[in-house]
Structure 1
Amino acid sequence: MGNNQKLTGEKRRVTILQWLKDAQKPITGGELAEKTNVSRQVIVQDISLLKAKNEPIMATSQGYLYIRETPEEFLHKRVIACTHRPEQTKEELYLLVDHGVTVKDVRIEHPVYGDLTASIMVSSRHEVNQFLEKIQSTNAAYLSQLTDGTHLHTLEADTEEKLDAACTALEKADILIHT
């Protein structure tokens, strides 16, 4: 922006959206705040408003990303085996989404019912938080609690490298089961 010019309201959000669409890498909230001469909190609110308009923006540890629609044939999928305590669920999901991975589902092998699968579909911390809040507010159990923490996830990403990096992070956290 320069010259301490402050964009206001809808014009600022349109500008932020265009910057995110044009960016080849994540843009931090601080960078957006500096470029628009507003506080970081205003940027957080702007991003929330854009997301409420169904703009596919993802918050990552590196900044905000505009998620471009990728035809399914260009997506890479992987099924992984994990084990952890229920209180590590947030850590597990954050590690995955922070690497640009979508967690499509969770699957367990039940001794009576066989394979049980539930859709998760989270690809950002916000979506993880919503998922965890829903579990908590409904007092639901995690499927993995039926198998002492052992479960599978179907992961999806636009590159194999993102899947590899996510699996490495899970391995370091002692969550990934080696197959």
Structure 2
Amino acid sequence: METSAAQARRQAVRRTLEQAGGPVSATVLAKQFSVSRQIIVGDVALLRAAGEEILATPRGYVLGRRPAGVERRVACIHRPEEMEAELNAIVDAGGEAADVIVEHPVYGQLTGILGVRSRYDVQEFLRRVRADSARPLSDLTGGIHLHTIRCADEQTFERVQKALKIEGFLLDM
């Protein structure tokens, strides 16, 4: 049987995410609530099972919210070593690389949450990739992938598309 302390902690975790200005890592939450990181991971899993839309980004958990503005997908292709240039093209044009999506032959659609909005975010993402010796999801598909791009308005999205096209990252049909 679950304790009321565990239920109260989960609601406090949810409130913390709701009030946060950005992602909050499981490690930070664990310290805040004086529990292990694994307890927080379990709490988040239970919150998700109860219907909370909590996303795990490379920088921590965020509550899933539909932002104002424009959200569109673009099909891209590039080599792994061009990932930084692609992400910088998106953020420099004023967009956010919300996620990366690939089509896996066995598992179907695989989505990785990015939440990359600035050059700082790009550098932090790449630092984590290097630290974990991780390969991009697009390695599974010969470099072909989708990005969900979030922008303030349609003109900004067009600027992002143009920047990706100039760099040669848009997949030609």
Q: TM tier, shorter chain?
A: 0.5 to 0.7
Amino acid at match of 1:172: I
CA deviation after TM superposition for structure 1 residue 74, in Å: 3.0
Deviations 1:56-103 (A, max 9, x none): xxxxxxxxxxxxxxx946310110000000010000000000111011
**Separation in structure 1 between the aligned mates of residue 90 and residue 166 of structure 2, nearest angstrom:** 12
CA RMSD of aligned residues (A): 1.9
Query: Identity of paired residues, percent?
Result: 38
1:84 aligned residue: 78
Task: Please point out which of 117, 128, 137 is paired with 2:122.
Answer: 128
Question: Aligned in 2, Cα 1:73/1:137: closer, same or farther, shift over 3 Å?
Answer: closer
1:99 equivalenced with 2:93 (yes/no): yes
CA distance in 2 between partners of 1:73 and 1:126 (Å) = 21
Q: Deviations over 1:22-60 (max 9, x none)?
A: xxxxxxxxxxxxxxxxxxxxxxxxxxxxxxxx69xxxxx
Where has structure 1 moved over 2 Å in runs of 4 or more?
71-74
Please give the residue correspondences for 1:43-62 in structure 2 after superposition, counting only pairs within 5 Å: none
Q: 2:104 aligns with which of 93, 106, 110?
A: 110
Residue type of the alignment partner of 1:132: L
Change (3 A) 1:104 1:139: same
**1:165 aligned residue:** 159
Identify unmatched segments of 5+ residues in structure 2.
Answer: 1-20, 23-64
Change (3 A) 1:138 1:162: same
Deviations 1:95-147 (A, max 9, x none): 00011101110000001111000000010000000000100100011000011
Q: Aligned pair in 2 of structure 1 residues 116, 173: CA closer, same or farther (>3 Å)?
A: same
TM normalised by structure 1 equals: 0.59
Q: How many residues align?
A: 112
